[in-house]
Amino acid sequence: MHTTWSTILFCVGLLVILSFPAFSQQQQIGVFEGSTDIGQVRKPGSATYNPKTQHYEVAGSGYNIWFEKDEFHYLWKRMSGDFILYTRAKFVGEGVDPHRKVGWMVRANLEGNSPHVNAVVHGDGLTALQYREAKGDSTKEIRADLTGADVIQLERKGNTYTMRVAKFGEPFVTEEVRNIDLGNEVYVGLFVGSHNQDVLEKGIFSDVRISVPAPDDLVQYRQYLGSNLEILDVNTGDREIIYTSPKSLQAPNWTPDGKTLIYNSDGLIYTFDLATRQPKKLNTGQVTNNNNDHVLSFDGKMLGLSSGVEELGGSIIYTVPVTGGTPKQVTPRGPSYLHSWSPDGKTLIYTAERNGEWDIYTVPAKGGKEKNLTNAKGLDDGSEYTPDGKYIYFNSNRNGPMQIWRMKADGSEQEAVTDGEFHDWFPHISPDGKSIVFLSFLKEEVEPGDHPFYKHVYLRMMSVSGGEPKVIAYVYGGQGSINTPSWSPDSKKVAFISNSASVEEQAK
């Protein structure tokens, strides 16, 4: 037999193609690298991304994800190290089998019998943390007490995997499995399985977030993660990332005309045009050590700043036109952290440390003598006027846990309005005066007097008339996420910051 060079080259090329990893032939789908059928499925699956809604739709078939092998469709990317995976998920249509599945999965490889961990919701509502410890082993599971979850989070920290699941609006229910070694470099992604080889089922995943958390040795206020500037619809819970930065962005304010957000970063103040989605530095003269306690006046004409001045005792309050200029110093000494203007623009309210106690004070916006409104033992912080000027909401740990409190504008009739299930910070009243949004830390993660960066937090909302708060966002953030008033002028949305180290640095 005579072999030509063209035949040899063809065979070598074919061998390269056949031996090349499947992921190299994939195309980017949103934040994911590829979309693959796992196992010997009869009906090919698919995955699409809608950049306008930031939703993913995944269709998959397959007999199951169970026993010693799996069949399903997988939308994946490769990562290493620790990460937090979050989404809101729902099935499309009534479905055929009650054990069709949607969820997050982490796999050692793309083979059907790969070790893996997944957080899954079944068509009948069964919600579980499932895992295969070694190649070809039988799958195990830990069932959650909750059924019918539509919020799914899966976190890896070393070889520990934590599933957090919820029905939207409620706090997480948590399950955990330890000592699952999938290797440092793994596949992470969304999946759909039909539990029927002859059927394709679909799932829609919204608010997909892949976050890289802070390392244990991160030094707060010296080292920072990157930031997502997000807008949240408070009625539906839909979230949109409108800007991402590798720097620490903090505390977005929303201007009353609805056109601009204002935030701080690296000691400077920035405006963010919502039409062009571009930031621009705001001129604050020599005041360039600004922190996340900056607040707009109710009419939107003035901006109050809190800026560190070491020789004056810490943070000092200034005011400046919202268009920029030379700030005017208001408080003579620090530390003083601004939180609100009175609706008439005549008074500023802030937290200050005086004589070893942290209390709430007011001062004329033009400068003058400060007035003490609270004097309970503990930390009183986060004060904010209601739009009618009659009440001030604030947070206090005077009773142990950090709770949201309310008092009249003169400081009288102080009363708690949350029950202390979480540590609640920074109440913000909607422009229509009907709702309050605030930040809630988990007691197992945070002390009542602290509000650190980079924790698992909730944004919760409640009526000003009282009642049970509802979770409206599940966030990796904390300090800087929503320190200052950030409602849209129509009371339908809020702006906030979520955090992550660079996901691309973790991708392999």
| CATH code of the domain in which 336 resides | 2.120.10.30
Last residue of a domain, one of 179, 211, 243: 211
Is 1 domain-assigned? no
Residue 11's pLDDT is what?
37
Tell me: do 235 and 204 sit in the same domain: no
Nearest to 316 by CA among 300, 295, 344, 337: 337
Structural domain of 352: 226-506
Nearest to 475 by CA among 504, 451, 499: 499
Residue 346's pLDDT is what?
98
Tell me: do 251 and 152 sit in the same domain: no
Tell me: do 282 and 147 sit in the same domain: no
Residue 14's pLDDT is what?
35
Is 219 domain-assigned? no
| Model confidence pLDDT, tens digit, residues 235-269 | 999 999 999 999 999 999 999 999 999 999 999 99
Q: What percent of the chain has pLDDT over 90?
A: 93
pLDDT at 477 over 90: yes
Tell me: do 128 and 251 sit in the same domain: no
- State the Cα angle at 174 between 173 and 179, rounded to 5°: 165
Give the C-alpha separation, 286 to 269, whole Å: 12
Residue 503's pLDDT is what?
63
Tell me: do 124 and 207 sit in the same domain: yes
Residue 5: which H helix or E strand, with range?
A: helix 5-19
- How far are the Cα atoms of 19, 388, 454, 481, 495 from residue 492, in angstroms, in the given order? 53, 19, 26, 18, 11
Give the C-alpha separation, 369 to 120, whole Å: 59
- How far are the Cα atoms of 418, 434, 436, 462, 471 from residue 465, in angstroms, in the given order? 12, 8, 10, 8, 17
Find all residues with CB under 8 Å of 27, minimum gap 6, and list them: 34
Tell me: do 36 and 183 sit in the same domain: yes
Is 295 domain-assigned? yes
Tell me: do 395 and 429 sit in the same domain: yes
pLDDT at 508 over 60: no
Give the C-alpha separation, 63 to 71, whole Å: 6
Last residue of a domain, one of 211, 237, 261: 211
Is 19 domain-assigned? no
Tell me: do 358 and 445 sit in the same domain: yes
Looking at residue 215, what DSSP letter applies?
Answer: P
Tell me: do 61 and 178 sit in the same domain: yes
Residue 12's pLDDT is what?
33
8 Å CB contact between 444 and 397: no
Give the C-alpha separation, 163 to 489, whole Å: 36
Q: Is 506 helix (H, G, I), strand (E, B) or coil?
A: helix
| Model confidence pLDDT, tens digit, residues 173-220 | 999 999 999 999 999 999 999 999 999 999 999 999 999 999 999 999
| Model confidence pLDDT, tens digit, residues 421-444 | 999 999 999 999 999 999 999 999
| Model confidence pLDDT, tens digit, residues 348-405 | 999 999 999 999 999 999 999 999 999 999 999 999 999 999 999 999 999 999 999 9
Find all residues with CB under 8 Å of 54, minimum gap 6, and list them: 30, 206, 207, 208, 240, 241
pLDDT at 13 over 70: no
**Average pLDDT of the chain to the nearest whole number:** 94
Is 38 domain-assigned? yes
Q: Domain holding 39: CATH number?
A: 2.60.120.200
How sure is the predictor about 27, in pLDDT bands with cuts at 50, 70 and 90? confident
pLDDT at 291 over 60: yes
Residue 8's pLDDT is what?
32
| Model confidence pLDDT, tens digit, residues 79-115 | 999 999 999 999 999 999 999 999 999 999 999 999 9
Tell me: do 177 and 262 sit in the same domain: no
Residue 162: both structure tokens together: 């934590």
Is 13 domain-assigned? no
Q: What percent of the chain has pLDDT over 70?
A: 94
Number of domains in the chain: 2
Tell me: do 332 and 380 sit in the same domain: yes
Give the number of residues written for the chain. Answer: 508
Is 296 domain-assigned? yes
Residue 502's pLDDT is what?
83
Is 7 domain-assigned? no
Looking at residue 16, what DSSP letter applies?
Answer: H
Tell me: do 494 and 389 sit in the same domain: yes
Last residue of a domain, one of 160, 185, 211: 211
